[in-house]
Amino acid sequence: MEIITSVKEIQKISFCLRAEKKQIGFVPTMGALHQGHISLIKECKKNNDWTIVSIFVNSIQFNDQNDYKNYPRPLDNDLNICQELQVDTVFAPSLKEMYPEEFLTFVNVEKLSSNLCGEYRPGHFEGVATIVTKLFNITNPHRAYFGAKDYQQTQIIKKLVRDLNFDIEIIVLPTIRDENGLALSSRHKYLSQEEKKQTYVLYKSLKKALSLLDKNIKDPKIIIDQINKIIVKEHLANVEYIKICDPVHLSDLKYISNEALIALAVRFEKARLIDSIIWRKN
Ligand code: AMP
C-alpha cells in the first residue's frame, strides 16, 4: 500500500492508472475509520481496479474550531485498517498541502445546502463541496463512494457532479449501525457511557416515524411531535432539529405523499449526532 502526502504525486499516480486503462475508485474520509468507512472501502475494492482512500480532516468544513481541534486523528490505526483491507493508495495530505496559501475559491451548492444541517452549521457544506471538488480534481476517479448516513451531503455531491460536469459515478451505500441501531460515527468517542446508552432513541424514533407513515399518518407535524416525544425522554439528548423533507430537493414537506426524508440532529454534551431514514410508499 502506498501512502501519499503530496498532491502532485497522487495526480501523477492517477494519470498513470488512467493511461493503463485502470478503473479508479475513491473513498474520501476524515479518518478515525470505523465499519461505516470500511463498508465503503470494501465496495470500492469490489468494483474498481484501484482503490484510493483519502484521510484528511478538512478544516474549512468545521464551523466550530474546538470541534476541529479535537476531531480524532488516529492515523496509524487508520493506516493499519487500510492495509488490512488491501487499499492500494492512501492519500493523507497535511493541511498545508491542501491549503498552501490564502484560499479564495469556494464551491457552494445553493438551496440544497441551506436546510437541515446547513441551517445549523453555516459554511459547513461549502467546506464539504469545496474539498470534494478539490479531491475529485486531484484523484480523478471513475467512481466515488459515500455513506447515506450523511444524506444531505450525498445530495449536494450528486448535484455538484452534475452541475460541474465531473465524469464520476457517485455511489451511495447504506448507513452502518451498531447493535442498538446507532449510526456509527467518528464522533462517538466523545460520548460518555451514559450518553451512549441514550443514543438508541435516535433510530428508535426514526423507526416509529416509519411505522406512523405506514399507518397512513401523513402530517409532518404529528410525526415530528412523536419523534420529539421519544427523544426528550432521554435527559442527556438535546434536539437540534427534526425535519421531514423532500428527499431530492431537501425542502420541508407540508404533507407527505409518496416519499419523505426524515432527518434529525441531536446534541449530547460533546457530540452532535445526525441520522435519517427515507420512507417510500409501497
Ligand atoms: P467522514 O470520515 O465522517 O467524513 O465520512 C466519510 C464517509 O464515510 C462519508 O461518505 C460518510 O457518509 C461515510 N460514513 C460515515 N459514517 C457512516 C456510517 N455509519 N455508515 C455508512 N457510511 C458512513
**Ligand 1 center–CA 192 separation, angstroms:** 21
For the chain, give the number of residues: 282
Between CA 282 and CA 276 the distance in angstroms is 19
Mean pLDDT along residues 136-160: 98
| CATH hierarchy code of domain 2-173 | 3.40.50.620
Complete edge-to-edge strand list for the sheet that includes strand 50-55? 2-4, 89-91, 50-55, 24-29, 143-147, 169-173
**Ligand 1 contact via 150 beta carbon (within 6 Å):** yes
Phi, psi dihedrals of residue 279, rounded to the nearest 5°: -110, 135
Mean pLDDT along residues 42-50: 98
Between CA 145 and CA 27 the distance in angstroms is 5
Determine the pLDDT at residue 43. 98
**Ligand 1 contact via 183 beta carbon (within 6 Å):** yes
Task: Look at the block and give the residue holding cell 490564502.
Answer: 102
Determine the pLDDT at residue 14. 98
pLDDT exceeds cutoff 90 at 1 = yes
pLDDT exceeds cutoff 90 at 282 = no
pLDDT exceeds cutoff 90 at 270 = no
Residue of the CA atom closest to atom 22 of ligand 1: 147
Domain residue limits, the chain? 2-173, 186-275
Probe target for ligand 1 pocket from 30, 37, 53, 90, with the most ligand atoms within 8 Å of CB: 37
**Ligand 1 contact via 40 beta carbon (within 6 Å):** yes
**Ligand 1 center–CA 122 separation, angstroms:** 20
186-275 domain in CATH 1.20.950.20?
Answer: no
Same fold for the pair 2-173 and 186-275: no
pLDDT tens by residue, 47-93: 999 999 999 999 999 999 999 999 999 999 999 999 999 999 999 99
Mean pLDDT score of the chain: 97
Q: What is the 3-state secondary structure (H, E, C) of the chain?
A: CEEECCHHHHHHHHHHHHHCCCCEEEEEECCCCCHHHHHHHHHHHHHCCEEEEEECCCHHHCCCHHHHHHCCCCHHHHHHHHHHCCCCEEECCCHHHHCCCCCCCCCCCCCCCCCCHHHHCCCHHHHHHHHHHHHHHHHCCCEEEEEHHHHHHHHHHHHHHHHCCCCCEEEEECCCECCCCCECCHHHHHCCHHHHHHCHHHHHHHHHHHHHHHCCCCCHHHHHHHHHHHHHCCCCCEEEEEEEECCCCCCECCCCCCEEEEEEEEECCCCEEEEEEEEECC
pLDDT exceeds cutoff 90 at 5 = yes
Catalytic residues: 37
pLDDT exceeds cutoff 90 at 156 = yes
Between CA 56 and CA 94 the distance in angstroms is 7
